Amino acid sequence: MKIAFLGLGNMGSHMARNLVGAGYSVKGFDVVDTAIKNSADDGVAPAETAEDAVTDADVVITMFPAGKHVLEAYSSGLLAAAQPGTLFIDSSTIAVDDAVEAAKLANNAGHLTLDAPVSGGTAGAEKGTLTFMVGGRQDAFDKAKPLFEVMGRQIVHAGESGTGQAAKIVNNMALAINTIGTAEAFALGENLGLSNQTLYDVMSTSAAQSWAVTTNCPVPGPVPESPSSNDYRPGFATGLMAKDLNLAREAIESTNTPADFGLAAYRAYTEFNAEDTSGKDFSAIIATKQKG
C-alpha cells in the first residue's frame, strides 16, 4: 500500500515515521521545506508538490493545522491529481461542518474519505499510541484500520463522515469543563484552609475522581509527573485546547445545544490563551482561579 503524507509537522512527522517503520512506502509533502528534509531522514520519500505526492498513492493522509488548510487543499487540484478510488484520511482537528464538506468534495471526485482526528499529543504520535476517532463509511474504515493500528492504540469508528470530529470536540469540551471545575475546587479548598495533598487524597478516591484530578492534577505536588508539577509543560497546550473549544462553540451554535458550561469553558480558555500561556499545559488555567 502506497501512502502520501501531507503535513509533516509536530504530529505528522512522527506518524509518517511510524508508518515507514511498519514497512509502508510513504511519500511526504509539507509547505515548509525543512519539514520535508527532516522526514526524509526518517525514510519518508520527499515529494516536490502535494500533487506529486498523491498521484500514485492508495491512501492520502493529511495532518494540517486547521479546516481551511484541508478545504483549500481538497479544492485546489489535489483530489484530481489522485487515482479514482484513493482513500483520503484527514487526521487534522477541524470543524464538523468542514469535515462533512471535505468528505463531500472527495466523494464527488470519486474517492473514499475518513475524518480521523486524534488525541494523545505529540508523545502519543511519537510512540504510536494515539487514539483515533473515525467518521466515514465502513469499507473506508476497514481499509484504513491497519494504518491506524500502526499510529495508534485505540481506534473508534464513530459513524458517518463528521462523527470522528464530533467525538473529538465533544470529548475535549467535557475535559475542559472538568478541568476548570477541578481547578475551582482546588482554589476554593486552598481558600478554606485545605492543603492540596489533603484535597487530592479526598478527590482522587471519591465521586469527584477524574483524569483531571488523578493524572493532570492542576496543582503541583500530588502527582509528580503531571504538567503542574513540571512548570506546566504540556501535556496538552492551552492554545490547542482553545482551538478545540472554538470548534465546540461552532458546533454548539449550529446545533442549538444549550451547552452553557461548554460556552463558558470556550470563553475561559479563549481569554486565558495569551502569548505567555498558549504553550503551557491547559491545567495552568488554575492561575485564573487563585488569589494573588
Residues that bind ligand NAD (CB under 6 A): 6-12, 29-32, 35, 50, 63-65, 69, 73, 92-93, 118-119, 121-122, 240, 243
Pairing of strands 152-159, 130-136: parallel
Contacts of 104 by beta carbon, 8 Å cutoff, 6+ apart: 161
CA–CA separation, 121 and 41 (whole Å):
22
CB of 202 to ligand NAD, least distance (A): 31
Q: Name the DSSP letter for residue 290.
A: S
CB of 97 to ligand NAD, least distance (A): 15
Q: Which is nearer to ligand NAD, 12 or 222 (CB)?
A: 12
Opening angle at CA 119, ends 76 and 233, nearest 5? 110
CB of 200 to ligand NAD, least distance (A): 26
**Radius of gyration over every alpha carbon of the chain, rounded to an integer in angstroms:** 20
Q: Residue number with the shortest CB distance to ligand NAD? A: 9
Give the containing element (helix H, strand E) for 159.
strand 152-159
CA atoms in the 13 A half-sphere facing the CB of 2? 13
Q: Which is nearer to ligand NAD, 167 or 187 (CB)?
A: 167
Q: Which is nearer to ligand NAD, 50 or 144 (CB)?
A: 50
Q: Which is nearer to ligand NAD, 9 or 43 (CB)?
A: 9
CB of 240 to ligand NAD, least distance (A): 5
Q: Which of 27, 168, 243, 280 is catalytic?
A: 168
CA–CA separation, 270 and 89 (whole Å):
29
User: Locate cell 495569551: which residue?
Assistant: 274
Q: Are 217 and 226 in contact (CB under 8 A)?
A: yes
Q: Which is nearer to ligand NAD, 62 or 161 (CB)?
A: 62
Contacts of 7 by beta carbon, 8 Å cutoff, 6+ apart: 30, 62, 63, 64, 65, 69, 92
Is 168 a known active-site residue? yes
CA–CA separation, 195 and 148 (whole Å):
43
CB of 93 to ligand NAD, least distance (A): 4
Which residues have a catalytic role annotated?
168
